[in-house]
Amino acid sequence: MNLYVTADANWGIGHNDNLLIQIPRSQKMFLEETKGKVLVMGRKALATLPQGKPLASRTNIVLSTNHKLQVKGATVVHTLEELFEELKQYPDEDVYVVGGESIYNQLLPYCKVAHVVKMDHAYAANKFFPDLDKDEEWKLTADSDEYTYFDIAYEFLRYERTTFADS
Ligand SMILES: NC(=O)c1ccc[n+]([C@@H]2O[C@H](COP(=O)([O-])OP(=O)(O)OC[C@H]3O[C@@H](n4cnc5c(N)ncnc54)[C@H](OP(=O)(O)O)[C@@H]3O)[C@@H](O)[C@H]2O)c1
């Protein structure tokens, strides 16, 4: 399982229910990376997508405890157990966890690769992603050139898990 996240200098990822910023090049990379893949997201992360709708050309899976929730273009699952049952039909490497904070926290232990868009700017965030640089289970294995968007510098980083509970 992979994850994809955009984080600021302090690993901030959001403020309340909102994203910190949307960087066009980063959005393009995200769409290219995840085309034809399986996205796993929380109900609140779904609301941050364009028009609050699932993304086309991908399998969208939304976590919510609300059994009445129906989302056109997405499968709604209500527990992690239900999620893992649903994911059995897809290759593990095709699955991308795409937020938000609570979903990253719950699924990080199952992820092997983390695609991180890392910004140098520090926002007034109140939603965070774990600092992978301080986590011995994760290693930075690739980084891109530095890009800029107005006065923000950012890079595309790849982290890989070095240890697994079952290995
Ligand atoms: N920077 C990034 O890359 C990025 C990406 C995505 C999101 N974000 C940010 O992350 C923030 C949202 O994070 P968040 O933690 O507040 O919300 P979230 O993780 O997106 O969604 C939380 C919701 O997911 C459902 N849920 C969570 N765990 C569940 C479980 N085990 N079983 C069933 N349902 C479960 C619940 O929905 P119900 O309440 O319906 O039960 C819960 O309220 C926003 O600021 C957003 O902008 C950032």
CB of 112 closer than 6 angstroms to any ligand 1 atom: no
In the chain, the amino acid numbered 85 is E
pLDDT in tens, 128-154: 999 999 999 999 999 999 999 999 999
CB of 63 closer than 6 angstroms to any ligand 1 atom: yes
Q: Is residue 166, in this structure, part of any structural domain at all? A: no
pLDDT in tens, 48-73: 999 999 999 999 999 999 999 999 99
Confidence of residue 167 (pLDDT cuts 50, 70, 90): very low
CB of 13 closer than 6 angstroms to any ligand 1 atom: yes
**How far is C-alpha 160 from the chain's CA centre?**
14
CB of 128 closer than 6 angstroms to any ligand 1 atom: no
Task: Provide the whole-model pTM.
Answer: 0.98
- Note the pLDDT of residue 165: 62
Q: What is the CATH number of the domain that holds 98?
A: 3.40.430.10
Considering only CA atoms, which residue is closest to atom 21 of ligand 1? Answer: 42
Q: What number does the ligand 1 atom closest to the CA of 78 have?
A: 33
Q: Is residue 140, in this structure, part of any structural domain at all? A: yes
Domain count, the chain: 1
Q: Give residue 123's domain range.
A: 2-161
**How far is C-alpha 8 from the chain's CA centre?**
14
Q: Is residue 167, in this structure, part of any structural domain at all? A: no
pLDDT in tens, 4-39: 999 999 999 999 999 999 999 999 999 999 999 999
CB of 100 closer than 6 angstroms to any ligand 1 atom: yes
